[in-house]
Amino acid sequence: MDEAIGSVPCERFDDLVDQSVELVRVMTGCQFMLGDIALEIAPLRSHGGNMALGQDDELGVAGSLRVFAEAIRLSFHTVRTYRWVAARWPKDQRQEGVSFEVHRILAAAPDAYELIRHPPADNRTGEMRWSGDAAKRAAGWSSATPVTVTEKVEAIRGLAQDEQVAALAACELLHRPEVAFRAMRDRQARELVNEAQFEQAEPVEEASWWEPDAAEDEEGSGLVDPVRIVRGFHRAMEFTDLIGVCQGFVAGASRLVPKLRGRDFSESQLATVTRQLEKIRATADWIETAVATGKVDLDEALAELLRGQ
């Protein structure tokens, strides 16, 4: 263990942990006691549901709990939670040394009374004990601190629900060769990339830089050449980027040109636009040559033009 944890020496840290464990034990007892009191003020039905508002008393369950919460200077939500947990955990089922938070998380788990008696091993110390994250895993909740591969994947999936975030994250991760290599060994991933490649193209008959023979080899002989798969995937990405550049220019022009109606430009402005259009035409010719022949060399005149000379 390091000589210090945070800003305190290890020995002091251990003392603080011992003090805090005792405080958590006391706090758990207080939370359960408050829950029991709230239950006495507003009991639950025998089936576990709340009594309807206004039933059995003038204020009703919610009103009674609000008055109680205000009187003890806690929020209504906190008091309601204490009451709910206390109702789910009869006194003879509450586990000494297990925090109120763990009881709350496990309250709705199947076989909760049996489950809480068998704490899992701590990932760091190996000690058999409950923590908030361990309880969430046992109850099937998403953990605040993902540990297993499945939990980490779920956490990434949750963060990437937005399509733009997912696309940027996927591109960033696929720039790592080992990730691209493993991704392209997944048949469905290859098929989706191939499908997206063709959907990007206008029309479909335009050049496809994917290497279908790599997949065909797998179908025919059962052998996969990972190098060819990754190479084909990178070519597909390059093709998609190229189509994106072209489509971006067309989209931008479609948006801006209609706004030029009735606009008068000075001679210097016209000259500037003319020079830029020459570059665009020359670049388009260069792309067409590269796609048709595979030759990407710039001739001197085009190089000078693109440099603005």
pLDDT of amino acid 257: 86
* DSSP structure string for 178-247: HHHHHHTTSHHHHHHHHHHHHHHSSSTTS-----HHHHHHHHHHS---HHHHHHHHHHHHHHHHHHHHHH
pLDDT of amino acid 283: 84
pLDDT of amino acid 204: 41
Structure tokens at 177: 């060769």
CB 52 within 8 A of CB 62: no
Q: Can you say whether the dihedral through the CA atoms of 106, 109, 114, 118 is positive or negative?
A: negative
Q: How many Å apart are CA 189 and CA 212, to the nearest integer?
A: 14
With CA atoms as reference, report the closest residue to 152 among 160, 174, 125: 160
Q: How many Å apart are CA 161 and CA 157, to the nearest integer?
A: 6
Element at 5 (helix H, strand E): strand 4-5
pLDDT profile of the chain (309 residues), mean per 10: 80 92 95 96 66 53 92 94 95 94 91 92 83 85 66 72 78 78 76 66 45 48 54 66 81 84 84 84 82 75 63
pLDDT of amino acid 64: 92
pLDDT of amino acid 35: 96
Neighbour count for residue 276 (Cβ, 10 Å): 11
Q: pTM of whole model > 0.75? A: no
pLDDT of amino acid 195: 67
Supply the angle between the helices 226-256 and 212-221 in degrees, to the nearest 10: 150
